[in-house]
Structure 1
Amino acid sequence: MGQLIARRDGAVLTLELSNPRKANALDFAILAALDEQIAHIEEDERIRAVVLRGTEGGAFSSGADIREWSALEPEVFARKWVGEGNETFRRFERLRCPSVALIEGLCFGGGLELALCCDLRLATDAARLRFPEVAIGAIPGWEGGDRLQRIAGRARALEAVLLSREIDAPTALHWGVVNAVCAPQDAGARLADWTARLCEVSPRAAASAKALILDDTKDARIAYPRAALDVRNSADAQRGIDAFFAKTTAVF
């Protein structure tokens, strides 16, 4: 049974996928723990950034635990594994605070689908990304193909899914699937730099900007003025404006 190990360092919450015997495969226990952490993050506004990672220096996740989902009746598999799993993934994607996936090794199937729910992705040059599902008579059921299409385009998403192509770190960077690639020994420092910067920005503005980017159904003529007004009326906005004119750095 897998675990989701939570560690708090100031305003940064790190969630580590842990299922050592299965290269951090995702199972019901991990999905349930992720759902609990999402609720905790939404309640605790002191959390300003979330890091999702696998084993330090090793696998992010080998994907969904095949032994677990293959034992389910098809209807149960569709409803609980795919349907409820997608609800959890969507909630994670829409967290009010920014999220970063650190990918240091293999990131396959459902693991890649989960990484694509993060706002930013940092990879080491040992990262390997792949959707292997069609090769075993399955599909990326946690909306990974759709998310990859929005990031990299339809042709590349179809190439990744239909050919089960393994994507190395340089290719992932070229496609825009990851935001940066670094050497393994530099991952900790680069991640710390990113999370420090995320914790310095206005949490109110960051949450609003993120929500606007993720909402594909919005009427931009209404949504942007409404969101801008909401942020402008906040204490964060006044703090930022005051700091700008005082030629200092705003502290949120």
Structure 2
Amino acid sequence: MGQILSSRTNAVLTLELSNPGKANALDFAMLAALDEHIAQIGEDDTIRAVVLRGTAGGAFSSGADIREWSALDPQAFATQWIGEGNAVFRRFERLRCPTVAVIEGLCFGGGLELALCCDLRLAGAGARLRFPEVAIGAIPGWEGGDRLQRIAGRGRALEAVLLSREIDPTTALQWGVVNAVCAPQDIETQLQEWTTRLCAISPRAAALAKSLIVDDDKDPHAAYPAAALAVRISPDAELGIRAFFAKTSAIF
């Protein structure tokens, strides 16, 4: 049974996928643990950024635990594993604070689907991204193909899914699937730079700006004026405007 280990440094919460012996394959226990963390983050405004990673220097996740889901009857698989899993992934994708996936090794199947729920992705030079599902008579059921399509385009998403193509870090960067690729020794430095920046920006503005990008169901005619009003009447706007005219950096 896997687990998600958590640690915190100042305003940054790190969640580590941990399922030793299975390359951090995702199981029901890990989905439940992720959902618990989502709820806790929602109640703690002092968390300004979330880092999701696998074993340091090793696998992010080899995918969904096939021994777990293959034991389910088809209806339970569809409703519990896929339906409930997607609900957790959507809640994670829509967290108010920015999220960063650190991908250093294997990132296959459901693991890649989870990484695609993050706002930013940092890959190590040894990262390996792939959707292998169709080769075993399955599909990327946690909406990974659709998320990849929105990032990289339909043609590339179909190529990745139908050919089970492994996407190397260079290609992932060209496709926009990852935001940066680092040598192993540089990953922590790059991650620190990102999280420092994410913790310095306005948390209210970040949450609203993110929601306008992530929420595909919004009515843009209503959503943008509402978000603009919400941030404009917030204390963050006053701080930012004062800092701008004072030619200083706002401290949120």
**Secondary structure of the structure 2 residue equivalent to 1:227:** helix
Cα deviation per residue 1:68-112 (whole Å; 9 max; x = unaligned)? Answer: 000011111111100000000000000000000000011000000
Moved over 3 A (4+): none
- Aligned equivalent of 1:74: 74
**Secondary structure of the structure 1 residue equivalent to 2:21:** helix
Cα distance in 1 between the residues matched to 2:67 and 2:217? 37
- Paired positions, count: 252
Q: TM-score, normalised by structure 1?
A: 0.99
Cα distance in 1 between the residues matched to 2:42 and 2:159? 36
**Which 5+ residue runs of structure 1 have no aligned equivalent?**
none
Counterpart of 1:76, as a letter, is A
Cα deviation per residue 1:32-77 (whole Å; 9 max; x = unaligned)? Answer: 0000000000000000000000000000000000000000111111
Which stretch shows the higher mean deviation, 39-48 or 212-221?
212-221
- Aligned equivalent of 1:57: 57
**Aligned-pair distance for 1:218?**
2.1
Mapping for residues 200-239 of structure 1, pairs under 5 Å? 200-239=200-239
**Which 5+ residue runs of structure 2 have no aligned equivalent?**
none
Cα deviation per residue 1:180-238 (whole Å; 9 max; x = unaligned)? Answer: 00101000010011000000000000000000011222222221111101100000000
Cα distance in 2 between the residues matched to 1:107 and 1:205? 31
Cα distance in 1 between the residues matched to 2:178 and 2:50? 16
Cα distance in 2 between the residues matched to 1:68 and 1:20? 15
Q: What RMSD, in angstroms, separates the aligned Cα atoms of the two structures? A: 0.5
Cα distance in 2 between the residues matched to 1:24 and 1:220? 39
Q: TM-score, normalised by structure 2?
A: 0.99
**Aligned-pair distance for 1:151?**
0.2
- Aligned equivalent of 1:147: 147
Cα deviation per residue 1:104-139 (whole Å; 9 max; x = unaligned)? Answer: 011000000000000000001110000000000000
The percent of aligned pairs where both chains have the same amino acid is 78
